[in-house]
Amino acid sequence: MTSKVWSGMLDCTFHGKMHWELNKEMWFLSKEANKHHDTWKEMGVKITDPRSSEGMSKVYAPKGYDTDLASIPRAGWALVAPWDVARPAIIHDVLYGALRDALHNKTHEVKLVDEMRAAADRTFLEGMTHVEPPI
**3-state class percentages of the chain: helix first, strand second, coil last, to nearest 5:** 40, 15, 45
Q: Which residues of the chain have pLDDT under 50?
A: 1-2, 82
**Which among 107, 90, 124, 134 is positioned nearest to 41, based on CA atoms?**
107
Domain extents in the chain: 12-128
Would you state the pLDDT for residue 8?
83
- Rounded to 5 degrees, φ, ψ at 17 are -40, 110
Residues 69-100: tens digit of each pLDDT: 766 655 665 655 545 678 898 999 999 999 99
Would you state the pLDDT for residue 98?
97
Q: How far apart are CA 95 and CA 7, in angstroms?
A: 17
C-beta separation of 54 from 8 below 8 A: no
Q: How far is CA 75 from CA 37, 80, 91, 118, in A?
A: 36, 10, 22, 30
Q: How far apart are CA 4 and CA 57, in angstroms?
A: 12
Would you state the pLDDT for residue 17?
76
Would you state the pLDDT for residue 82?
45
In this structure, the strands spanning 26-30 and 57-61 are antiparallel
What count of other Cβ atoms lies within 10 Å of the Cβ of residue 108? 18
DSSP codes joined into one string, 114-126: HHHHHHHHHHHHH
Would you state the pLDDT for residue 104?
97
